[in-house]
Amino acid sequence: MLASLNHPHIGAIYGVEEASGAPALVLELVEGPTLEDRLTKGALPVKDALTIARQIADALDAAHEKGIVHRDLKPSNIKI
Active-site hit among 37, 58, 61, 72: 72
- Is the CB of residue 18 less than 8 Å from the CB of residue 26? no
Is 37 known to be catalytic?
no
- DSSP state for residue 16 in the 8-state scheme: E
Q: Which amino acid is at 75?
A: P
Q: Counting every residue, how long is the chain?
A: 80
Residue 13 and residue 28: Cα distance in Å, rounded? 6
Catalytic residues: 72
